Structure 1
Amino acid sequence: MSKLILYDQENFLGECIEFVRNEPDLSKMMFTNTAQSARVKGQHWVGYTEKNYKGEFIVFAPDDYKTLGPNFSQKLSSLRLVDEALANPEIVLYEHVSYKGEVREIRKKVDNLERAEMNNKASSHKVKQGVWILHKGLDQTGPRLITFKGDEWPNYCDYGWNDKVSSLFPLVNSYNEVGASPSVKVQGV
């Protein structure tokens, strides 16, 4: 069984609360903007700075996190368990909105979409398998968003991402995102 335990102090001290399923609003558990450390067992989890899986995000791989760092300490407001299969990831990028124009089926990390003649051209996507993190910068830099199996984003304009994606990668079992500096609002997830 997968679980995530949040602690209200660093180094697993203070009050704690255990989660085994999605929690769209940590305030209902009286734990919003409180967590400073975490333990994760089983599968990955995604923590968001806003309710309902929005805002900046952090991906937790199974591990112990003595601190959540300055970007996420006392800032988590919702949690999502990654229960999607991470094997055989696939995302389809479309050049135009509503899944039109040139198409690129991607199954692995791409540091530079220029090699696929798709850099800063994507306007919509569909996730066939896995969990993907898309970046505005090359080599997984800059603002980012996360998208899950079954997600269909017909119009990046709605999120301020039209013609902005430059690199992307699938979440894999060894992925650990602590310490990253996310700077994109996640919407529509």
Structure 2
Amino acid sequence: LNINTDFILPLTSKNEIISSGHITLLQVTLYEQRNFTGRRLDLTTDCQRLADRDFPERCNSVKVESGAWVGYEHESFRGRQYLWDMYDQGEYQSCDKWCSPVDTVSSVRNIRQDETAPRIQLFERPGFSGKKAEIQDDIPNLMTRFGINRIASARILGAVWVLYQEPNYRGPHYILERRDYSNYTDWAAQGNTVGSLRRVRFS
């Protein structure tokens, strides 16, 4: 049996993605100081505890080489979330660029890419009830577009999304991957205010 292997792609590990037939190594670089200076740490996979990599829990700038990542205020992917993706060429010169009032980052994980067509359903009440908004593109101001900014449940039907507490992609934010969220606490929010949302950018 002769098999043409020209079109067989190798299996990829969690820290690799296939783009246009090419395998790309996922990578994000954390810097201790602003403007990509000071001690640095290159990550190609999840890290539950940055202290184990001899990196201080102070992070003031980040470069995303490929993929999309989320930093967490606490170890083991807990606490406030900080999205680092390719939305702004993947360069974050200071922690305020990822909407953080402090420079504490204790763990980092990679966000798995979802290439299905972008689609999210937002519901005003828990359990997918109340006023509903179905969205397929970025929304800088949810209240202006749909007349609501209280979201208590959501269904992610395609792509990966980030919900921001304030309009224009500012304030505390939360990464929502494809699944059902019957209550805002399911995406680790402390309240149900959503001011804006957009798709996570992987390239």
Specify if TM > 0.5: yes
Aligned-pair RMSD on alpha carbons?
Answer: 3.0
Code of the residue aligned with 1:126 in structure 2: it is R
Give the drift of 1:107: 0.8
Q: For residues 78-122 of structure 1, what are the alpha-carbon distances to aligned partners after superposition, in whole Å with 9 as ceiling and x for unaligned?
A: 112122235622211122211223332211112333455451342
Task: Name the SS of the counterpart of 2:63 in structure 1.
Answer: strand
Inter-CA distance 52–10: structure 2 relative to 1 (3 Å threshold): same
Which of 99, 111, 124 aligns to 1:82? It is 111
CA distance in 2, matches of 1:72, 1:114: 25
Which of 77, 87, 111 aligns to 2:140? It is 111
Inter-CA distance 86–172: structure 2 relative to 1 (3 Å threshold): farther
CA distance in 2, matches of 1:37, 1:111: 24
Which of 28, 45, 55 aligns to 2:80? It is 55
In the alignment, which residue of structure 1 is the partner of 2:18?
A: none
Give the drift of 1:145: 1.9
Contact 1:24 1:52 in 2 (8 A): yes
CA distance in 1, matches of 2:91, 2:194: 32
Q: Does 1:19 align with 2:19?
A: no
Give the drift of 1:131: 2.4
Which of 171, 174, 177 aligns to 1:146? It is 174
Identity %: 23
Bigger Rg over Cα: 2
Contact 1:35 1:73 in 2 (8 A): no
Code of the residue aligned with 2:94 in structure 1: it is L
Inter-CA distance 103–5: structure 2 relative to 1 (3 Å threshold): same
TM normalised by structure 1 equals 0.71
Between the two proteins, the alignment pairs up a number of residues equal to 171
CA distance in 1, matches of 2:146, 2:102: 39
Contact 1:130 1:148 in 2 (8 A): no
Which of 171, 180, 184 aligns to 1:156? It is 184
Code of the residue aligned with 1:161 in structure 2: it is G
Task: Name the SS of the counterpart of 1:39 in structure 2.
Answer: strand
Contact 2:29 2:64 in 1 (8 A): yes
* Structure 1: gaps spanning 5 or more residues: 175-189
In the alignment, which residue of structure 1 is the partner of 2:163?
A: 134
Contact 2:59 2:95 in 1 (8 A): no
CA distance in 2, matches of 1:14, 1:113: 39
Inter-CA distance 101–51: structure 2 relative to 1 (3 Å threshold): same
Task: Name the SS of the counterpart of 2:140 in structure 1.
Answer: coil
